[in-house]
């Protein structure tokens, strides 16, 4: 109860009346998404994550805003909104969570001066924080973009280590497709290049590109609090429901 009260207090303090409204919306959305049925798997509940701490990484932050949409949407802010909602939904089901950041800041050391130094320090510190948490499971939240075209859309889940993370990545991709975008044909995939955080953590880890900021329609959705909550509920569903065995 104290843990739940703490979560409610943090939300209330950050968003006043919106905090309570978002909390209730998250609960309602999660119940709908996690209801057993042909399109969404049966919810296993907190037992699915027993002994595991879900580390929620809202990508970028502070001077490093990440991608920016043509309309001016800054990725770091969207990442944080989804991360906060995911923390709330998982908390409603009793899961242990850690947010790497709870505000729009970089996690760099004070001695870092240039933007390059700050970004490098920020990433090293994120790795250290994840590695210090026993039995961690990392979900890193980001937004995609494609320079020169606004036609690409849809969430996609990536992983670095296939053995520990590919099944969860595929499961999460399927939940996102079923719950939010049935026409999305993207598949979970191994990261095509080096991503420092994902390459240096030793726990199971997935990186979720929730949508394309370069697509005007999806950009508008990603700015919408209700859609952010649906994204968070879908991600929670993926984490709280059994991951299908390979070939199942």
Q: Chunked in runs of 10, what are the mean pLDDT values of the chain (248 residues)?
A: 52 46 50 49 62 97 96 98 97 94 96 96 98 98 94 97 96 96 96 95 98 98 97 96 77
- Does residue 148 form part of some domain? yes
pLDDT digits (tens, 9 = 90+) for 108-134: 999 999 999 999 999 999 999 999 999
Q: C-alpha angle 189/194/200, rounded to 5°?
A: 100
- Does residue 82 form part of some domain? yes
If one counts the domains in the chain, the total is 1
Contact 155/180 with Cβ under 8 angstroms? Answer: yes
Helical (H) or strand (E) element with 139: strand 136-144
Tell me the torsion sign for CA atoms 221, 231, 29, 151: positive
CATH of the domain at 211: 3.40.630.40
- Does residue 189 form part of some domain? yes
Determine the pLDDT at residue 245: 78
Q: Which domain holds residue 227?
A: 2-240
Determine the pLDDT at residue 244: 84
- Does residue 247 form part of some domain? no
- Does residue 246 form part of some domain? no
Which of these, 191, 208, 188, 101, lies nearest to 144 by C-alpha position? 208
Tokens of 97: 């969570």
Determine the pLDDT at residue 134: 96
Query: If you average pLDDT over every residue of the chain, what do you get?
Result: 87
- Does residue 245 form part of some domain? no
Determine the pLDDT at residue 25: 52
Contacts of 82 (CB under 8 A, 6+ apart): 58, 141, 210, 228, 231, 232, 235
* pTM, rounded to two decimals: 0.85
Helix then strand count (H, E) for the chain reads: 8, 6
Determine the pLDDT at residue 65: 96
Contact 30/87 with Cβ under 8 angstroms? Answer: no
User: According to DSSP H, which parts of 1-114 are helical?
Assistant: 2-15, 17-33, 75-92
Q: Could you give the 3-state DSSP secondary structure of residue 37?
A: coil
What is the Cα–Cα distance from 248 to 106, expressed in whole angstroms? 41
Q: Could you give the 3-state DSSP secondary structure of residue 180?
A: helix
Determine the pLDDT at residue 38: 45
Which of these, 25, 24, 26, 52, lies nearest to 205 by C-alpha position? 52
- Strands 156-159 and 53-58 come out as unpaired
Looking at beta carbons, which pairs linking 103-108 to residues 24 or more positions away fall under 8 Å?
103/61, 104/61, 104/62, 104/76, 104/77, 104/80, 105/61, 105/62, 106/61, 106/62, 106/63, 106/64, 107/61, 108/62
Determine the pLDDT at residue 223: 97
- Does residue 150 form part of some domain? yes
């Amino acid at each position: 109860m104290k843990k739940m009260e703490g979560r409610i207090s943090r939300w209330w303090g950050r968003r006043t009346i919106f905090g309570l409204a978002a909390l209730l919306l998250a609960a309602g959305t999660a119940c709908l998404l996690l209801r057993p049925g042909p399109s969404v798997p049966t919810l296993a509940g907190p037992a699915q994550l027993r002994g595991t701490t879900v580390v929620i990484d809202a990508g970028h932050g502070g001077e490093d805003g990440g991608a920016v949409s043509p309309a001016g949407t800054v990725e770091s802010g969207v990442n944080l909104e989804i991360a906060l909602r995911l923390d709330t939904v998982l908390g409603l089901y009793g899961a242990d969570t850690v947010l790497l950041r709870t505000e729009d800041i970089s996690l760099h050391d004070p001695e870092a001066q240039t933007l390059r130094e700050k970004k490098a320090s920020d990433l090293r510190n994120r790795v250290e924080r994840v590695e210090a948490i026993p039995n961690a499971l990392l979900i890193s939240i980001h937004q995609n973009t494609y320079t020169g075209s606004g036609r690409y859309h849809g969430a996609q889940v990536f992983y670095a280590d296939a053995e520990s993370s590919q099944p969860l990545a595929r499961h999460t991709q399927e939940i996102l497709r079923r719950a939010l975008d049935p026409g999305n044909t993207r598949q979970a995939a191994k990261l095509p290049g080096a991503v420092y955080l994902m390459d240096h953590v030793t726990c199971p880890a997935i990186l979720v590109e929730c949508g394309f900021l370069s697509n005007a329609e999806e950009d508008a959705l990603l700015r919408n609090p209700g859609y952010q909550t649906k994204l968070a509920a879908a991600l929670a569903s993926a984490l709280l429901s059994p991951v299908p065995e390979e070939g199942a």
